[in-house]
Structure 1
């Protein structure tokens, strides 16, 4: 089996660049490139991590006929911490890159913020589960509190910031952008 070619195919099917996959898997772009060109082989645990980021598993990767997963549980979620910005992202549907939308649960530390998202085609929707946030959309800032929803076309730079108590947000991007 040509692991590198199959990984590259899976990555491109999910609409990810090598850098995006590397960021999600906490690896380097160079390593992903070497794996895809079969210049190096990942360990089983590293391959499992890469596949999880691509919404797959070792079993699915090495099996040609796998049924589609409908229900996702906590053990299926992919988690990424960014202590520098003060946020944690949980991809609630690990294979969402190949879907029409991508839901995440973002937890912002007190005064933490999301990455600044560049303008892109699509829409963003979020629901504040805990705390309150400031949503910056272009040159305007909006306060969104627990139990409130935001929704906008993603054609302007945008990001979220938490108040002094932190916040948890269900955030959905269409098409997938996280």
Structure 2
């Protein structure tokens, strides 16, 4: 195990500079650099301070990387159908509501509409794969057809409606806690 590289990786995951990590652990930027390049070894106390700031327990730190799932077959995807509103929602990444982004595919029947959402800090990206949809965002309406995209901050009440004569399909990716 490359301890220096693991410290560096954790620091970067926490979006910290060497200087910021040093400030939070009463160490110098130069010493953090030496640790990350395996040119120095920390005392146990210093190591535990680093782990505390980096949000790791010693057990987590020394556990070898577990294989992370990067490919999600169709069988892992979860579907929800709302016949009353006329759409089929497919979560493309299981448990994605625990991640920063939540990608879903929504298939609308003719006249179908997605539920109305209250304002939130989420950012939302929509790619129209088939048909045409409208986004009602506050008092404004935006329309996009196959091949076009919509990108917005969800700071107003909003909903998505199928505007095509026939079915429409979109890929929607939203930041945390949208769906």
> TM (normalized to structure 2)?
0.61
Decide whether the 8 Å contact of 2:81 with 2:89 is kept in 1: yes
- Aligned residue for 1:75, secondary structure, equals helix
How far is the alpha carbon of 1:66 from its aligned partner? 6.0
Partner of 1:141: 141
- Aligned residue for 1:165, secondary structure, equals coil
How far is the alpha carbon of 1:113 from its aligned partner? 0.3
Partner of 1:77: 77
Rg larger in structure: 2
Partner of 2:175: 174
How far is the alpha carbon of 1:141 from its aligned partner? 0.6
Residues 54-65 of structure 1 aligned to structure 2 (within 5 Å): none
Partner of 2:103: 103
- Aligned residue for 2:67, secondary structure, equals coil
The two structures, once aligned, show a CA RMSD in angstroms of 1.3
How far is the alpha carbon of 1:97 from its aligned partner? 1.3
List alignment gaps of at least 5 residues for structure 1.
1-64
Partner of 2:26: none
Say if 1:134 and 1:120 are closer, same or farther in 2 by CA, change over 3 A: same
Count of residue correspondences: 114
Decide whether the 8 Å contact of 2:118 with 2:158 is kept in 1: yes
How far is the alpha carbon of 1:165 from its aligned partner? 1.1
- Aligned residue for 1:72, secondary structure, equals coil
Deviations 1:71-96 (A, max 9, x none): 00100100000000000100000121
> TM (normalized to structure 1)?
0.61
Decide whether the 8 Å contact of 2:129 with 2:168 is kept in 1: yes
Write the distance in 2 (CA, Å) between the matches of 1:84 and 1:67: 41
Write the distance in 2 (CA, Å) between the matches of 1:100 and 1:135: 22
Partner of 2:86: 86
Write the distance in 1 (CA, Å) between the matches of 2:101 and 2:109: 25
Decide whether the 8 Å contact of 2:144 with 2:150 is kept in 1: yes
Decide whether the 8 Å contact of 2:98 with 2:176 is kept in 1: no
Write the distance in 1 (CA, Å) between the matches of 2:107 and 2:158: 17
Residues 123-134 of structure 1 aligned to structure 2 (within 5 Å): 123-134=123-134
- Aligned residue for 2:97, secondary structure, equals helix
Write the distance in 2 (CA, Å) between the matches of 1:66 and 1:109: 41
Higher mean C-alpha deviation, range 66-75 or range 82-91: 66-75
